[in-house]
Structure 1
Amino acid sequence: MAAGDGNFWQRVDELQRTLLESERISQLRHKFLSSLDNSAENPLKQKIDRSSILRAIEDCTFQILTDICHGHPPVLVYEDRSSWDNTSFSEEMGIKMKPAAKSRTTRFDNPVSLPKFALTLKLMSMIHLLVKTNTYSTKRDMYYQDTQLFGTQSVVDEIIDNISCMLKVPRWCLKVLATSKGSIAGDLTFNEADGNFVDCSLSSAGVPVPSHVHGLYNLCTTAKFVLVVEKDATFQKLLDDGICRTLAPCIMVTGKGFPDLNTRLMVRKLWDTFHLPTFVFVDGDPHGMEIMCVYKFGSKALSFEAHNLTVPSVMWIGILPSDIHRLQIPQNMLIPLKKSDFDKARDLSKRPYFQAQQAWKRELELLVAMGVKAEIQCLTSLSPTFLSEVYLPNKIRFGGWI
């Protein structure tokens, strides 16, 4: 299909107008509902600046000192990010943490949690210095400041997220960044926080998603849509096939599997800036479906930051389980579902957003009934260029998404 196909561009333009109207209605509804909620725990209603962050850290520290002075063992309290019971579902925002979520505690008088208590205070002091001096650090750099003290990188990662949740401040506002694993390509230019100019169309393999997504400015594009791809191998193949030229202009993003925070922030940044139709392309299996849901609805671990990370208007373009029969994919190219796949499907079916997405629920039920999954690579069995020349163009042209 040629990029100049008038019907194609007309359909994409109509889709964008529909999404914009849907977004406007959702924003008005969310604004109305928020006006009814006077909870101080609503992160959308808090003014976040350096002074308020410093004050929050200092207030927490002062409370610890006060407890010690009064002979009470100090305790750090933060919402439990590991339980689905602490989340609720909103079509306007996705998965979000409940205002009265159950909490977890790290106690000074508990030998088991004492090391974590001490490490939390250590990291809070490091964050306080970053915010005070208006400088940034990566989680990796913070870990390497004292590897013997922290033990592993995962300990630092978990505690920083706990601090963010406890203070009700997004992590990037704490001046803590993470090294990105995702890539972006296509019709997009921007300036990074340090002024560096990036043209994503010049790289044949894509450019890394910036570590400081919120610092990007002067974003420009003539793209008609955004395509989020699960796998880096598929991302590279589409680039090699020149899809950003033949189907273009478009922007492609990959999280290289389960997306990291920066990739999710980037997809949200593109939506906030351009309001382009956003399609997600994943394997036709429960794990691919979960990845697609993370972009659209968020994750329980970061549900307290849902308003910064989710794009509820995301559309699932493939591989749909119903595509397996529709395309008559050869049986030898399909993979039997494992126990872990069935377990994941069962878990997905219980999540609140599947109850609101009947089309997705039917696709999941079909997948389980067939007992097989289709990875993106199986499309090459039909033709080496089937993915870029037939599947994706026709999906977009004829509305083959849900």
Structure 2
Amino acid sequence: MMGSRVAELFSEIDKFRAQLLQNVEVMTECQHVETEICHKEILTRIENVILGVVTSLSKDEAPVLALPNRSSWANVSFDSAIGLQMSSGSSVTSIRSDCASSVTKFARILKILLVIYRLVQSSSYATKRDIYYNNTQLFGSQKTVDGIVDDISSMLKVPRRSLHVLATSKGLISGDLCYLEEDGTRIDCHSSSAAVAVSSNIGGIRNIVSSAKFVLIVEKDATFQRLLDDDFCAKLCPCIIITGKGVPDVNSRLMVRKLWDTLHIPIFALVDADPHGIEIMCIYKYGSVAMSFEAHSLTVPSVMWLGLLPSDLQRLRVPDAALIPLTKRDKSKLDSLLKRPYLASQPDWQKEMELMQQSKVKAEIQSLAAIAPDFLTNIYLPNKLRYGGWV
């Protein structure tokens, strides 16, 4: 069955070649976008990939696609002003059409390329979920589609949002913020009873209005909801809180970057005092290896670690019952973090992480409730922000 679906796909390629040979002009004007890559340029890059496949077929050669390796630290360089970015001479993975282990992925990539081409050409959008349900048998899972879309983005050197493929956001945002969506819908984030879902089209957001003094990135949804329930954004001073509910999705990261670019205010991170929380903060600040090809639009190098600090656990005398011993996996993650290239530029972070190594314990933000139920919102965060002169 998979063989027949691959055959159908190559039939589509033949039709696509005929379309290219007819020299169809795409009359989409280049609009100014963050990436400064216009529709016609994106179409040209896709056409070049397809023409490479067609050329190989015409010579009775097996077509091969070269994808940048998005999982290797060897392909990443560190720039303190940008974060982790993919090196220009990064290694590639060859996806062959004549190899049993890669022919299915080859077919999936071409199918999604054709979908993206039509989306860009018609100035329409689709979600990654739409693409998955376009051919569930070929793709197998939503995760497969998600990975291939990022592979294509990296291969074409085009930010994912410019491919007209949207992802459903999992993040939430609240606070002193209003803006317009691309379709003109006005979004007001001031409500203290319910948060707003982070937009699926950050690039289309405009007319941002806010008097916020800072943005607070919150690692967990539970802590975010607690701040919301306590009306944190209104009690202390005007501010914005946002959560990616753990490891952030691309839209949550894009939103933080958008706010930083637009409002020029401090960005703080509130994460658990454990290796996992620290890594999440590092993703917002420095980026990730997998998305290093989009570092310029995803990272926020000014992010500051507000808490929960390992040193806070001792300073505040958090009860031992609220502390958790580091697991073997935690220790391995901590060792890995300390070897990251960006740690050399953060000696204070390094000291905190070494303190965690020595104490061999970690703690969640919720551990502060062991001191007092309202300690986080009424004492801990206000004192941290006032001590730093931010409020």
Q: TM-score, normalised by structure 2?
A: 0.90
Match of 2:28 in 1: none
Match of 2:65 in 1: 76
- In structure 2, what is the equivalent of residue 105 of structure 1? 94
1:33-48 equivalences under 5 Å are 47-48=36-37
Pick one of 125, 141, 151 that aligns with 2:140. Answer: 151
Q: Which among 86, 96, 105 is matched to residue 75 of structure 2? A: 86
Alignment of 1:192-203 (within 5 A): 192-202=181-191
Decide which of 234, 237, 242 is 1:253's aligned counterpart: 242
- Paired residue secondary structure (1:88): strand
Match of 2:208 among 214, 219, 230: 219
* Residue 178 (structure 1) aligned with residue 167 (structure 2): yes
- 2:260 corresponding residue in structure 1: 271
User: Greater relative contact order (Cα 8 A, min sep 6): structure 1 or 2?
Assistant: 1
Is 1:139 the equivalent of 2:132?
no
What's the RMSD between the two structures over aligned residues? Answer: 1.4
User: Which residue does 2:18 correspond to in 1?
Assistant: none
Q: Is the 8 A contact 1:187 1:244 kept in 2?
A: yes
Shift in CA distance, 95/323, structure 1 to aligned 2, threshold 3 Å: same
CA–CA distance in structure 1, aligned partners of residues 314 and 191 of structure 2: 38
Q: Which amino acid aligns with 1:217?
A: R
1:385 aligns with 2:358: no
Out of 224, 227, 243, the residue aligned to residue 238 of structure 1 is: 227
Quote how far apart the aligned CAs of 1:269 are.
0.3
The residue type equivalent to 2:383 in the other structure is: N
Change in CA separation of 1:206 and 1:45 when aligned onto 2, cut-off 3 Å: closer
- SS in structure 2 of the partner of residue 273 of structure 1: helix
Q: Does structure 1 retain, via aligned residues, the 8 Å contact 2:198–2:252? A: yes
Q: Is the 8 A contact 2:192 2:228 kept in 1?
A: no
Contact 2:219-2:246 at 8 Å conserved across structures:
yes
Distance 1:286 1:207 in 2: 29
In structure 1, how many angstroms separate the alpha carbons of the residues matched to 2:34 and 2:361?
Answer: 46
Distance 1:45 1:134 in 2: 17
**2:50 aligned residue (61, 73, 79):** 61
Cα deviation, 1:179-200, whole Å, max 9, x if unaligned, reads 0000000000011111111100
Matched, 1:322 2:308: no
Q: Report the alpha carbon displacement of residue 279 of structure 1 after superposing the two structures with TM.
A: 0.2
- State the shift of 1:399 in Å: 2.0
1:202 is displaced (CA, Å) by 2.4
Return the alpha-carbon distance in structure 1 between the equivalents of residues 198 and 290 of structure 2: 21
CA deviation digits over 1:267-288, x for unaligned, max 9? 0000010011000000000000
Aligned to 1:344: 333
> Structure 2 CA distance, aligned partners of 1:258 and 1:231?
9
The secondary structure found in structure 1 opposite 2:226 is helix
Asked if structure 2 preserves the Cα contact closer than 8 Å seen for 1:394 and 1:400, the reply is: no
Residues 244 and 251, structure 1, Cα contact 8 Å, conserved in 2: yes
Q: 1:400 to 1:275 in 2, by over 3 A?
A: closer
Please tell me whether the aligned partners of residues 285 and 373 of structure 1 are also in contact (alpha carbons under 8 angstroms): yes
Cα contact 1:75–1:108 (8 A) shared by 2? yes
In the alignment, structure 2 segments of 5+ residues that lack a partner are 1-32
Call closer, same or farther: CA 1:45–1:178 in 2, change over 3 Å: closer
Matched, 1:190 2:185: no
SS at match of 1:378: helix
Distance 2:34 2:60 in 1: 36
How many angstroms does 1:71 deviate by? 2.4
Deviations 1:307-362 (CA, angstroms, capped at 9, x unpaired)? 00000000000001111111010101101111110111011111101122111111
CA contact (8 A) 2:214 2:240 kept: yes
Determine the structure 2 residue equivalent to 1:289: 278
Aligned mates of 1:307, 1:74 — CA distance in 2: 32
Determine if contact 2:220/2:243 at 8 Å carries over to the other structure: yes
Deviations 1:380-401 (A, max 9, x none): 1111111011101111111299
Q: Which residue of 2 aligns with 1:298?
A: 287
Residue type matched to 2:185 in 1? N
Contact kept, 8 Å, 2:192 with 2:231, in 1: the verdict is no
Taking the aligned partners of 1:146 and 1:46, their CA distance within structure 2 comes to 30
Tell me the distance in 2 between the aligned counterparts of 1:361 and 1:105.
Answer: 38
SS at match of 2:217: strand
Match of 2:353 among 348, 364, 385: 364
Deviation by residue 1:82-132 (Cα, 9 ceiling, x = unmatched): 001100111100000011001111011111100000110000000000000
Q: Which residue matches 2:4?
A: none
Runs ≥4 residues deviating over 6 A: none
Aligned CA distance change for structure 1 residues 203 and 215 (closer, same or farther; 3 Å): farther
d(CA) in 2 for partners of 1:202, 1:328: 35
Instruction: Report deviation, 1:46.
Output: 7.5
TM-score normalised over the length of structure 1: 0.87
Query: Could you tell me how far apart the structure 2 residues matched to 1:358 and 1:247 are?
Result: 30
Distance 1:292 1:46, change over 3 A: closer
Secondary structure of the residue that 1:248 maps to in structure 2?
coil
| 1:56-87 per-position Cα deviation (integer Å, ceiling 9, x unaligned) | 00011001111111222111112100001100
Post-superposition Cα deviations, 1:293-319, rounded to whole Å, max 9, x if no partner, equal: 000000000000000000000000000
3-state SS of paired residue (1:71): coil
